[in-house]
Structure 1
Amino acid sequence: MALNYPQIDPVALQIGPLAIHWYGLTYLAAFGLFLLLAHLRLKHPPYSRMTGAAAWTRKDVEDMLFYGVLGTVVGGRIGYCLFYKPEYYLANPLQIFYIWQGGMSFHGGMLGVIASQWVFARMRAKSAWEVLDFVAPCVPTGLAAGRVGNFINGELWGRQADPSLPWAMIFPQSGSMIPRHPSQVYQFLLEGLLLFVILWLYARKERKRAEVSAVFLLGYGTFRFIAEYFREPDSHLGLLAFNMSMGQWLCVPMILGGAVLWAWAATRNDPASRPATR
């Protein structure tokens, strides 16, 4: 028998007219985990041995998070509007700013974070790859936190599953009582925990510049592509060419870009850091 989705109140705490949602708390958890991991990342080479103007500090981490939050929110919202509902938002441009109604895209958020970290690197006179390689291993736990929020909200449910699957689940929010894959859990495990373990272990040793970023692109793109086979496509889009979802199509350039970036980095005699001072 399929499991029933445990109806969880999306509001964690209500104080008069003020409602604190679980989804908002998962965002806070994501940013808190980033801060924790980024401080630990300062102990990894090459960042741990940089001195002088090139040295990384806790203030760098805090400023990086500030820019990253802006990039996540702005990029995620614009990406959702452009990738998933361009006609609707072109006809209703003011609703682009109605972020409380929901609608965020990871791929848009990723582009926003890349842009924000490029700005941060320019302001700190650092290499953009140096910054992105620092950030990449600290991101997957935030993605995992976001998937917890999706599950609590009962959204982004999976495709129909065999009723004999022990963890098949019925999501009443889907408008049907058929057993489905809990795709939020799959994404939590793949794009969140597994990707974090791979990246964290890989980045503990000094790598050539851009190699850590390449592994992130390859890893996330591959795991998300796989998870999309179990996730219900957006109802207004359905499956696109070659029976692939929009999420899968957006992963294709990530995987290709990661492979090209890896090949480019591997052929360069360019370690992650130059001599210690600038």
Structure 2
Amino acid sequence: MSSMRVDFDPVAFELFGLTVHWYGLMYLVGFVGAWWLGRLRARHPASSWTPAQVDDLLFYGGLGVILGGRVGYVLFYNFGPFLDDPLLLFRIKEGGMSFHGGLLGVMLALWLFCRKYNKAYFAVLDFVAPLVPLGLGAGRIGNFINGELWGRTTDLPWGMVFPLAGPQARHPNPLYEAFLEGLVLFVILWWFSARSRPRRAVSGLFALGYGVFRFAVEFVRTPDAHIGYLAWGWLTMGQLLTLPLMLAGLYLLWSAYRQPARAAEG
């Protein structure tokens, strides 16, 4: 039985000379989904959030994702070429976004948001965390359409051929991540945050859950060609960057239930 070829046109459509890519549309799906879910959660009788605050939150978060994701990709995955050519940072059309960079960018953006609205930092992070996974899943679908971030070769029946990686069937890693980091993590966090939890608990579960899923999937993902494996023939850059995230998640959960603070707002 022949394997499916991942050979989609990355361009969704052209409008008035503007080329719109599926990957960009997936970012739009993520932002709109987060906005809708945030508005939905803000309508809860116990919520202290207003619709206007949710709208502003989307602006801050979106700015953090885009700027942080790009800067993180260049610094974490292309630092050498960046030193040789600093303008690489601005050549967005060449691609390259990092989850870990986007996370740091969002954390900084939300700190500024908290200063503006005088909200507790972790109360805001706890509100935001359940809104994120569907955007992560949409982004991975964008990677799949682009035919990138493929896995190792496999003879499993669901192996797929990524033309840019050669004729062998490979693990469809973007689909694994879309399922685990997107759908499964969303269901877990939405259920967990539906009841009042100690502050920091929802943020901690997000960090731990994403970290575990990402670390696991990286075992069958082909590392970036210009970086390769960092140690022991299996440790990738994604796993290395995810380790502190898992530790932070464990610490936040431990501290949340050891000394429970006021429940997260919303």
Q: TM-score category by the smaller chain? A: over 0.9
The answer for the alignment partner of 1:37 in structure 2 is 37
Contact 2:6 2:161 in 1 (8 A): no
Secondary structure in 1 aligned to 2:219?
coil
The answer for the alignment partner of 1:86 in structure 2 is 79
The answer for the alignment partner of 1:258 in structure 2 is 249
The answer for the alignment partner of 1:5 in structure 2 is 5
* Distance 1:194-1:263 versus aligned 2 partners, 3 A rule: same
Query: Following the alignment from structure 1 to structure 2, what is the Cα–Cα distance between the partners of residues 123 and 96?
Result: 29
Query: Following the alignment from structure 2 to structure 1, what is the Cα–Cα distance between the partners of residues 118 and 99?
Result: 28
The CA deviation string for residues 13-61 of structure 1, in whole angstroms up to 9 with x for no partner, is 12353211111111111111001111111145xxx325xxxx3101000
Indicate the larger mover: 113-122 or 260-269: 260-269
The answer for the alignment partner of 2:134 in structure 1 is 141
**Ranges in structure 1 where 5+ consecutive residues have no aligned partner:** none
Alignment of 1:1-278 (within 5 A): 1-15=1-15, 17-44=17-44, 48-50=45-47, 55-162=48-155, 165-174=156-165, 176-242=166-232, 243-272=234-263
Secondary structure in 2 aligned to 1:12?
strand
Secondary structure in 2 aligned to 1:30?
helix
Indicate the larger mover: 259-268 or 3-12: 3-12
Query: Following the alignment from structure 1 to structure 2, what is the Cα–Cα distance between the partners of residues 273 and 132?
Result: 9
TM-superposed deviation, 1:232:
0.9
Runs of 4+ in structure 1 deviating by more than 3 angstroms, as ranges, are none
In structure 2, what residue type is equivalent to 1:261? L
Q: Over aligned residues, Cα RMSD in angstroms?
A: 1.5
Secondary structure in 2 aligned to 1:104?
coil
TM-superposed deviation, 1:76:
0.5
In structure 2, what residue type is equivalent to 1:31? F
Query: Following the alignment from structure 1 to structure 2, what is the Cα–Cα distance between the partners of residues 230 and 183?
Result: 7
TM value normalised by structure 2: 0.96
Query: Following the alignment from structure 1 to structure 2, what is the Cα–Cα distance between the partners of residues 85 and 212?
Result: 32
Query: Following the alignment from structure 2 to structure 1, what is the Cα–Cα distance between the partners of residues 82 and 33?
Result: 33
TM-superposed deviation, 1:233:
0.5
Query: Following the alignment from structure 1 to structure 2, what is the Cα–Cα distance between the partners of residues 269 and 236?
Result: 45
In structure 2, what residue type is equivalent to 1:83? F
Query: Following the alignment from structure 1 to structure 2, what is the Cα–Cα distance between the partners of residues 120 and 11?
Result: 34
Contact 1:2 1:166 in 2 (8 A): no
Give % identity: 50
Query: Following the alignment from structure 2 to structure 1, what is the Cα–Cα distance between the partners of residues 34 and 79?
Result: 31
Query: Following the alignment from structure 2 to structure 1, what is the Cα–Cα distance between the partners of residues 30 and 264?
Result: 28
Query: Following the alignment from structure 1 to structure 2, what is the Cα–Cα distance between the partners of residues 15 and 273?
Result: 43
In structure 1, what residue type is equivalent to 2:141? V
In structure 1, what residue type is equivalent to 2:164? Q
The CA deviation string for residues 172-211 of structure 1, in whole angstroms up to 9 with x for no partner, is 111x111100001000100000000000000000000000
Query: Following the alignment from structure 1 to structure 2, what is the Cα–Cα distance between the partners of residues 244 and 273?
Result: 35
In structure 2, what residue type is equivalent to 1:94? L
Contact 1:157 1:171 in 2 (8 A): yes
In structure 2, what residue type is equivalent to 1:206? S
Query: Following the alignment from structure 2 to structure 1, what is the Cα–Cα distance between the partners of residues 182 and 65?
Result: 16
In structure 2, what residue type is equivalent to 1:36? W
